[in-house]
Chains A and B, each alone.
Chain A
Amino acid sequence: MNLTLKKFQVHPFHLVAPSPWPILVSFSVMSIMLTLVFNMHGFMHNNYWVVFSAIVAIMTMALWFRDIISEATYLGDHTLAVRKGLNIGFILFVVSELFFFIAIFWAFFHSAMAPTIELGGVWPPVGIEAIGPSELPLLNTILLLCSGATLTWSHHALLGGNRFNTLLGLILTIALAVTFMICQYMEYSNAPFTISDGIFGSVFYFGTGFHGLHIIIGIIMLGVSLWRIYTYQLTNNHHVGYETSILYYHFVDVVWLFLYIVFYWWGT
């Protein structure tokens, strides 16, 4: 064996090199927060800075992820140990997301399980016409459950080496998720209450709004995965980005089921 340790690093870990992206992301995200707070306090001509910060953050993230894709696909830095670390890191992130949604449900139950006298002592509060579980939310539930099925189909096709079914399943998943978002937009447009209509409106749009935001993020993640499969970057065995996207999407799928049961069914 003409392999000598001197030619290669003897450990499987990826010691990341100096990069401008972490500090740029930090400052742009801080800018988003500050400018959003300024906006909420009525500062004039501040929208430009919110948009500017968001553009910087999105561009920096895109360039950072581009670097990670290069390191993974083209430089071979992602050994099994690195992939394990990425997976564990992403699982921790999903756990933090879980507790974020637990907080939202806590806010809902806090107000709904013992409605105060100002609400008329009932939930939904007096004067609020809530959206029932047999209306648009039922279609939304079916859409999301179907998208979970097509996503699993796509993943198994990738594992089995069937490129056409992988791409078809993933395109269908994204189409179903986009349809879900359109339905949510229609529901919001026609809802008889707003976010400022007391606690019901507040927690309803708090929960469903953040869920919708997470579906959008899931669509972006699956879109990146679709592009990387289309350009032959992902192999049948090494596709951490796709696996984490799938995990994330299924997570927001399950959150929707709880939203449906609690916000649209039990809560109405």
Chain B
Amino acid sequence: MFALRRSLLSAGRIARPQQVARFSSASALLQHKAVKPAEKLSEVTGPESLIGTSAAPGTVPTDLEQETGLARLELLGKMDGIDIFDLGPVIRPQHSVKGTPDDPIWVPTYDNSRIVGCSGTPHGSHEVQWFHAGVDKVGRCDECGAVYRAYELGADEEAPHH
């Protein structure tokens, strides 16, 4: 319930102020078709371009027509052969050298640090070692000495609430 309310609030924030004033209800805001829903990953401009449309009357909707939000982003990525969540290990095939203080392996984080597990270079060459990699303070693997450094993600103006 609260998630809905917050999402609608954030949807309201995305829209321009005069638009918000024009729509009497949240559903009217969602049905607004000013932004064409993205049908390719390259057409995604922001959350408002990920609101799906509806199917033609009398037909069964398809995912491309109706998928919305993060699920639509994932679908568009899959259609382009891209896993947008990229949950696999950070492997650097382009230069098979371990991270160094000057050239660390960068790890995305929502916080100011993240726990990483190093399995050596090349990938899988030693037991996984777990340690913290910070934004300000790098993390080093006890086993192979590889250096990891975190960089912050997340919305600029708003910190995550949970």
- Bound-complex Cα distance A79 to B2 (A): 20
Contact assessment for A236 and B60 in the assembled complex, using a CB-CB cutoff below 8 Å: yes
CB distance from B30 to the nearest CB of A (A): 7
Contact assessment for A77 and B71 in the assembled complex, using a CB-CB cutoff below 8 Å: yes
Contact assessment for A1 and B3 in the assembled complex, using a CB-CB cutoff below 8 Å: no
Number of interface residues, chain A, beta carbon within 8 A: 44
Q: CB within 8 A of A2: which of B6, B44, B50, B153?
A: B44
Given contacts A7-B46, A18-B2, A67-B4, contact A75 B68 (CB under 8 A): yes
Given contacts A1-B41, A15-B162, A70-B4, contact A76 B61 (CB under 8 A): no
Query: Does A176 touch B at the CB level, under 8 Å?
Result: no
Given contacts A7-B47, A76-B71, contact A19 B3 (CB under 8 A): yes
Q: Which residues of A contact B46 (CB under 8 A)?
A: 7
Residue positions of B touching A, CB distance < 8 A: 1-4, 6-7, 30, 41-42, 44-47, 50, 52, 54-55, 58-63, 65-74, 84-87, 108, 153-156, 162
6 contacts between A and B (CB under 8 A): A3-B41, A7-B155, A10-B86, A77-B69, A163-B59, A229-B60
Contact assessment for B72 and A235 in the assembled complex, using a CB-CB cutoff below 8 Å: no
Contact assessment for B60 and A235 in the assembled complex, using a CB-CB cutoff below 8 Å: yes
Q: Which residues of B contact A77 (CB under 8 A)?
A: 3, 69-71
Per DSSP, chain A at the interface is: loop
Contact assessment for A75 and B61 in the assembled complex, using a CB-CB cutoff below 8 Å: no
Contact assessment for B44 and A3 in the assembled complex, using a CB-CB cutoff below 8 Å: yes
Closest to A229 in B: B60
Q: Which residues of A contact B65 (CB under 8 A)?
A: 235
- Bound-complex Cα distance A112 to B87 (A): 55
Query: Does A85 touch B at the CB level, under 8 Å?
Result: no
Q: CB within 8 A of A75: which of B4, B42, B108?
A: B4
Q: Which residues of B contact A35 (CB under 8 A)?
A: none
Given contacts A2-B45, A75-B4, contact A17 B74 (CB under 8 A): no
Q: Which residues of B contact A75 (CB under 8 A)?
A: 3-4, 7, 68-69
Q: Which residues of B contact A5 (CB under 8 A)?
A: 108, 153
- Bound-complex Cα distance A35 to B108 (A): 52
Closest to A82 in B: B71
Q: Using a Cβ cutoff of 8 Å, how many contacts connect chains A and B?
A: 114
Contact assessment for A6 and B67 in the assembled complex, using a CB-CB cutoff below 8 Å: no
Q: Which of A1-25 contact B (CB under 8 A)?
A: 1-3, 5-12, 15-21
Q: CB within 8 A of B3: which of A10, A16, A80, A166?
A: A16
Contact assessment for B155 and A6 in the assembled complex, using a CB-CB cutoff below 8 Å: yes
- Bound-complex Cα distance A2 to B43 (A): 8
Q: Which residues of B contact A211 (CB under 8 A)?
A: none
- Bound-complex Cα distance A15 to B46 (A): 20
Closest to A64 in B: B1
- Bound-complex Cα distance A68 to B30 (A): 18
Contact assessment for B68 and A238 in the assembled complex, using a CB-CB cutoff below 8 Å: no
Contact assessment for A163 and B85 in the assembled complex, using a CB-CB cutoff below 8 Å: no
CB distance from B86 to the nearest CB of A (A): 7
Contact assessment for A235 and B85 in the assembled complex, using a CB-CB cutoff below 8 Å: no
Query: Does A106 touch B at the CB level, under 8 Å?
Result: no
Q: CB within 8 A of B62: which of A1, A16, A74, A236?
A: A236
CB distance from B69 to the nearest CB of A (A): 2
Q: CB within 8 A of B60: which of A8, A63, A158?
A: A158
Contact assessment for B63 and A238 in the assembled complex, using a CB-CB cutoff below 8 Å: yes
